[in-house]
Amino acid sequence: MTKKVATKRPVKKAVAKKPVKKVLSKKVPAAKKIDPKTQTIESLLELIRITSTVVPDDVAKTLMKARSQEEQNTTASYAMNIIKDNMDLAKFKSQPLCQDTGTVIFFVYHPPGFFQNDFKELIKKAVVKATQKGYLRQNSVNSLTGENAGTNLGEGHPSIHFYETKGKEVEVKLVLKGGGCENVSAQYSLPDTTLGAGRDLEGVRKVVIDAVYKAQGKGCGPGALGVCIGGDRADSAYAAKKQLLRKLDDKNTNADLAKLESEIVETCNKLGIGPMGFGGKTTLISCKMTHANRVPASFFVSISYMCWAFRRQGVVLDAKKNTIKKWLY
Ligand code: SF4
């Protein structure tokens, strides 16, 4: 018995000592690397941070041009100056542009064979982390009980939409849609006899202008519109919102819609509603339109109204590392 014990002990010690040192030296550099899932969460977190705190370049450029066109020492120019100060401060302090960080809407474009459910879970983790860090306010509330989980997770939130593409990379776009501007979004059913709006582009023009007129600066104008002509009620509203993903300086490939977009902006900016409804030249900074087939019985026009705090961003993720390879706006 004693002999057996004596032979075992030295063997155990010898085996235990050498590998411990080797394993430690290998593990140290490995620990510095982030595993792919954690890296994806970090990339999504950074997407949320930038979306919440920095107005995208195309929007900032358009807002600053509008600011320079307002008459000095008017309430409109005062409002535009406050908007500028707000933008500068939010970017500098990396804090949300507005206390309402809005409905969190993700659009994910991915190659075939992508695991949507896994990605959804990573998005949720990033949203929780962003909420803890204050990039997102604890906004999302259960519509039946009024309960706020404090995480921005719940039934239907965040809103996540997937699209399979032929590309090899994953592209993630994010819109934070404020409640005030969502409240003045609208849907019309043509013909609308009260407005004399028929089932044609002239009728569409009338109802879109009516929506802007009725908003009267509520929804924190100057506003940006996404519009869909046709579709059923649900798809029409969604397609209108998706128009907010377009850059403000792009041009509609449909010549009729391109013309209508410019006309609507021009007309609305002559209404005198102005920033925040204070009067002035800037009521709208953009209008982007699309269309969808409808059935003969219906003709919906959906209008998604976005406030000056136009929060949308997007990234392309590196296919191997899941780091942010490119910013889209
Ligand atoms: S409408 Fe926009 S700017 Fe106004 S409170 Fe809501 S998120 Fe903020």
Q: Give per-residue pLDDT as tens, 20-48.
A: 444 444 444 444 678 999 999 999 999 99
| Beta bridge partners of residue 104, listed in sequence order | 176
Ligand 1 atom nearest to CA at 102: 7
Helix axes 116-133, 36-53, angle to 10 degrees: 50
Please state, as a whole number, how many other Cβ atoms lie within 10 Å of the Cβ of residue 320.
8
**Which residues contact residue 31 at a Cβ distance below 8 angstroms, ignoring those fewer than 6 apart?**
none
**127 CA from centroid of ligand 1 (Å):** 20
**Which residues contact residue 229 at a Cβ distance below 8 angstroms, ignoring those fewer than 6 apart?**
201, 204, 289, 290, 291, 292, 301
**299 CA from centroid of ligand 1 (Å):** 30
Question: What's the CA gap between 67 and 82, in Å, rounded?
Answer: 10
55 lines ligand 1 (CB under 6 A): no
Q: Give the number of C-alpha atoms closer than 13 A to the C-alpha of residue 157, restricted to the C-beta side.
A: 21
Residue spans of the domains in the chain: they are 33-54+97-178+309-329, 179-308
**Which residues contact residue 200 at a Cβ distance below 8 angstroms, ignoring those fewer than 6 apart?**
none
Query: Which residue has a Cα nearest atom 7 of ligand 1?
Result: 178
pLDDT of residue 3: 39
Helix axes 201-215, 255-268, angle to 10 degrees: 30
90 lines ligand 1 (CB under 6 A): no
pLDDT of residue 111: 98
Model pTM? 0.89
Question: What's the CA gap between 205 and 190, in Å, rounded?
Answer: 11
181 lines ligand 1 (CB under 6 A): yes
**323 CA from centroid of ligand 1 (Å):** 31
Burial class (CB in 10 A: 0-12, 13-18, 19+), 180: middle
CA angle 221, 304, 81 (to 5 degrees): 15
DSSP string, 85-131: HHHHHHHHHT--SSS---EEEEEEEE-TT--HHHHHHHHHHHHHHHH
220 lines ligand 1 (CB under 6 A): yes
314 lines ligand 1 (CB under 6 A): no
pLDDT of residue 32: 60
pLDDT of residue 67: 98
Residues of the chain with pLDDT under 70: 1-32
257 lines ligand 1 (CB under 6 A): no
Spatial strand order of the sheet with 311-317 comes to: 159-164, 103-110, 170-177, 311-317, 324-327
**327 CA from centroid of ligand 1 (Å):** 24
Q: What is the CATH number of domain 33-54+97-178+309-329?
A: 3.30.360
41 lines ligand 1 (CB under 6 A): no
Q: Is 191 within 8 Å of 122 (Cβ atoms)?
A: no
